[in-house]
Amino acid sequence: MSWRIDVAVQTPAHSALGDVLSYASGVRVTPGALVRVPLGRREVLGVAWAAHQEDAGPAAVELKPIGAVLDALAPLDEAWRDLVAFAARYYQRSLGEIALAALPPQLRDLSAVQLARRLKRKRSDSPPGGVSPCAVALSAEQTEALSRFEAEAGPFLLFGSTGSGKTEVYLRAVAALLAREPQAQALVMVPEINLTPQLEARFKERFGADSVVSLHSGMTNPQRLASWLAAHSGAARIVLGTRMAVFASMPALRLIVVDEEHDPSYKQQEGARYSARDLAVWRGRRESAKVILGSATPSLESWHQSRPAAGDDAGGRYVRLSMPSRIGTGALPRVRLVDMNLQPPKTVLSAALLDAIGQRIARGEQSMVFLNRRGYAPVLACADCGWKSECPHCSAYRVFHKIDRTLRCHHCGFTERVPRACPECGNLDIAPVGRGTERLEEHLGELFAAVRRPDGSAVRIARIDADSTRKQGALESQLAAVHSGEVDVLVGTQMIAKGHDFRRITLVAAINPDGALFSGDFRAPERLFSLLMQSAGRAGRDAAYVSAQGATAEMWIQTHHPQHPLFVALKRHDYPAFAQGELEDRAAAGMPPFAFQALLRADARTQEVAQAFLGAANAAADALAGSDQVTRYPAVPLAIQRVANVERAQMLLESASRAVLQRVLAGWQPLLHELRRTPEGKGVIRWLVDVDPHSI
């Protein structure tokens, strides 16, 4: 008697090898067990997916034997395997790709003996930390939200304004769960790595350091492995993490929190393009775990799914919990629109805004200036011949970074020193065009050079963006300087706009937000409203401080379109009105959430080859069942069509039925693999399917 073991391994992309590979074993291997198996000339890690007993005979196919079973580790349970299988099926990827990407990288390199030794070292008899008393008094809105959360099944959309105390609701929900079920586990997800440390500190303070682990890509491989093992064994009661944490092995999972659920960071943009938010909802249903999606500006999909029943409309699948008020006596910041049409040409910061910032500095308060463009200037240009700092490898400009005198492409990373003169005509007078956070920081420094703080010292301006936080520990030290009051004016990109609990900021300003109003991407207004609303939420969070200062929290927005409905709704902090308008427009246009989309993308050395492949794929789809219910748009180049000398094109598919779209995509996969072997597919470097794309 022998066993055929089906194993999920990470096969090469587009290899068309199928979801699992079969191996021989003399004994039954439990599904979910980690195994080491031969693949080509290598031995790789795999997950046993199924075991079949077979009689040896002349007709039997000779299979390679399994190398080793990592039996020191408990098998991955059926619920985890179901999650991986669903994600692979829905997002059109291979089973092994999803399964292996969900495991910590260091696990792939350990032998059975090494893993056993590591687990022996890690075992501890120390009990998990207890729950510290909750000293914070709940508001009536928080109490109501928690009461409904305990009484109803969900999933829940916690719609709470910035500063309404959503995090305390999460903490109380987790505390109630752990008190009720001694072995239960909770998963708490955040969109950005830089938000994890402050949330981790609050959870460890409340539940004890032994009960909480983090999972995100900023950790070292040994740290990720240790956290994953703690979650898998049940030793970690609470896992905090970014989108990758949705695949954490948690055998006693009973609660999932997705904070800032609207954030685009929950959608993976490389490899398997899954939505961690959507998978969290699916996983909660599969494992009978309650799910809370929290946001001050929910995604329109979640808002639509939480709509109450009305007339013939049965309503959405989610339960909406509302917390519209800030904690205590705090008021939402007053929104002031500055009409830049009335300002002198080339005005960067209006006189009224500068005066308002100056008043804050004089009183010892902090201001935040938000500009979602890093670097000194987006382009360096020659006025004589028209030369611009184009990237030779991408259809984009290289950004001028004055701090290190470089021209840097933010798409492929190509970097050069700034030329002394124009490379085309030799003109020495090449100049920056436009403005990034570096230049804004410099400009503010010049404007407030003569201004003094209340103690007589010079004004301190700090910048937080992807460039200033590149070094290890830089972000933490910069945030600490803001929290301690050392910084008077904080300049930054969207990194500073969300999640941070700055207690002394009373003014937030958005300098140039108009670009997204007229973007070709239909989701751009939704993202802009969310970003501005989140930015405004950084002002006036400490009601006692604002009151003691005799100040008013304000959000200033400089715009050429002050009458735009988006700004009108923002001025009233009226997300429901904004959402209603957007949803009406989307319904009329047949766009998500009233339709379902997927993109087929192709990369090639020339745009012609990429589009020819997509054209052939389009023609091949005609034969698929249900294709008449799927609209397939012509292939077009991406907005930035060339990156690192690779041309990129895409084709949009849209259907009123998610099930029909999924059937067509599944039937299309083998046809796409076949196309790679035809003349139309020969020059294609790679192709991918992006289901529920976030940007088009």
Nearest CA among 402, 399, 401 for reference residue 410: 399
The predicted pLDDT at position 54 comes to 79
Q: Output the CA torsion sign for 617, 622, 626, 629.
A: positive
Range with lowest mean pLDDT among 140-149, 221-230, 306-315, 413-422: 306-315
Least reliable range by pLDDT among 193-197, 426-430, 503-507, 675-679? 193-197
Q: Which helix (H) or strand (E) segment is 379 a member of? A: strand 379-382
Rounded Cα distance between 49 and 26, Å, is 16
Higher pLDDT, 414 or 61: 414
Q: What does the block give as tokens for 385?
A: 């011949």
314 pLDDT band, cuts 50/70/90, is confident
The residue with tokens 């035809």 is 678
Q: What percent of the chain has pLDDT over 90?
A: 66
Calculate helix-pair angle for 196-207, 166-180, nearest 10 degrees.
Answer: 40
Residue 489 neighbours by CB under 8 Å, 6+ apart: 357, 361, 366, 367, 368, 369, 444, 448, 459, 460, 461, 462
Q: Are 336 and 554 in contact (CB under 8 A)?
A: yes
Question: CB within 8 A of 19, min separation 6: which ones?
Answer: 8, 49, 88, 94, 95, 96
Phi, psi (5° rounding) for residue 529? Answer: -55, -45
Indicate the CATH number of 596-691 among 3.40.50.1950, 3.30.70.600, 3.40.50.150, 2.60.40.10: 3.30.70.600
Tell the residue number behind the tokens 């190398």, with chain if given: 67
> pLDDT per residue over 151-181, tens digit each?
999 899 999 988 888 999 999 999 999 999 9
Which stretch of 113-117, 249-253, 526-530, 540-544 has the lowest confidence by average pLDDT?
Answer: 540-544
Backbone angles phi, psi at 320, to 5 degrees: -90, 125
What is residue 476's predicted lDDT score, i.e. its pLDDT?
81
Asked if residue 134 belongs to a known ligand binding site, the reply is no
Q: Is 412 annotated as a binding residue?
A: yes
| Closest to 318 measured CA to CA, from 300, 309, 308, 305 | 305
Three-class DSSP labels, 392-443: CCCCCECEEECCCCEEECCCCCCEEECCCCCCCCCCCCEEEECCCHHHHHHH
CB atoms within 10 A of CB 366: 25
Whether the pLDDT of residue 123 is over 60: the answer is: no
Is 318 exposed, middle or buried, given 0-12, 13-18 or 19+ CB atoms closer than 10 A? buried
Measure the N-to-C terminal CA separation of the chain; round to a whole number of Å.
54
120 has pLDDT over 70: yes
Give, for 107, the enclosing helix (H) or strand (E). Answer: none
| Cβ atoms 546, 540 nearer than 8 A | yes
Q: Which residue, among 503, 569, 577, has the nearest Cα to 540 in the 3D structure?
A: 503
Helix (H, G, I), strand (E, B) or coil at 109: helix
The reply to whether 385 sits in an annotated binding site is yes
Report the chain's mean pLDDT, rounded to a whole number: 90
Would the CATH topology of 2-122 be identical to that of 596-691? no
Q: What is the mean pLDDT of residues 616-631?
A: 92
Q: How far apart are CA 589 and CA 300, in angstroms?
A: 15
How much of the chain, in percent, has pLDDT values that exceed 70? 95
**Domains of the chain: which residue ranges?**
2-122, 140-323, 334-374+436-586, 596-691
Residue 409 assigned as binding residue = yes
Tell me whether strands 554-559 and 596-604 are parallel, antiparallel or unpaired. Answer: unpaired
**Helical H runs in 131-220?**
140-151, 166-180, 196-207
Contact yes or no for 486/457 (Cβ under 8 A): no
Return the H-helix or E-strand segment holding 498. none
CA distance 62 to 39: 15
3-state SS assignment for residue 29: coil
Distance (Å, rounded) from C-alpha 472 to C-alpha 466? 12
Nearest to 246 by CA among 271, 267, 222: 267
d(CA 340, CA 681): 50
**Which residue type is seen at 418?**
V
Query: Around Cβ 387, how many Cβ atoms within 10 Å?
Result: 17
Return the CATH number of the domain spanning residue range 2-122: 3.40.1440.60
What value does the mean pLDDT take over residues 497-525?
Answer: 85
**Cα–Cα distance list, 231 to 190, 212, 601 (Å):** 17, 9, 36
- Rounded Cα–Cα distance for residues 302 and 296 (Å): 12
pLDDT at 1: 65
C-alpha to C-alpha distance for 397 and 409, rounded to whole angstroms: 7
383 neighbors 431 (Cβ within 8 angstroms): yes
Q: List the structure tokens of 435.
A: 């403005």
Q: What is the pLDDT of residue 126?
A: 43
- Return all residues near 12 (Cβ < 8 A) that are at least 6 apart: none
Which residue has 């470097």 as its token pair? 685
What is d(CA 405, CA 399) in angstroms, rounded to the nearest whole number? 11
Residue 372 scores a pLDDT above 50: yes
CATH 3.40.50.300 is held by the domain 334-374+436-586: yes
The larger pLDDT score, comparing residue 657 to residue 115, is at: 657
Task: Report whether 425 belongs to an annotated binding site.
Answer: yes
Q: Is the pLDDT of residue 488 over 50?
A: yes
CA dist., res. 168 & res. 487, Å (int): 28
pLDDT at position 127 is: 45
pLDDT in tens, 390-409: 999 999 999 999 988 999 99
Tokens describing residue 572: 């009233």
Pairing of strands 366-370, 596-604: unpaired
Please report the pLDDT score of residue 472 as a whole number.
79
Q: Give CA angle at 215 (210, 216), nearest 5°.
A: 145
In the chain, what's the furthest Cα-to-Cα distance?
92
Number of Cβ within 10 Å of residue 383's Cβ equals 12
DSSP label at residue 11? P
CATH topology of domain 140-323: Rossmann fold (3.40.50)
Other Cβ atoms closer than 10 A to 59 = 6
Helix (H) or strand (E) run with residue 337 in it = strand 334-339
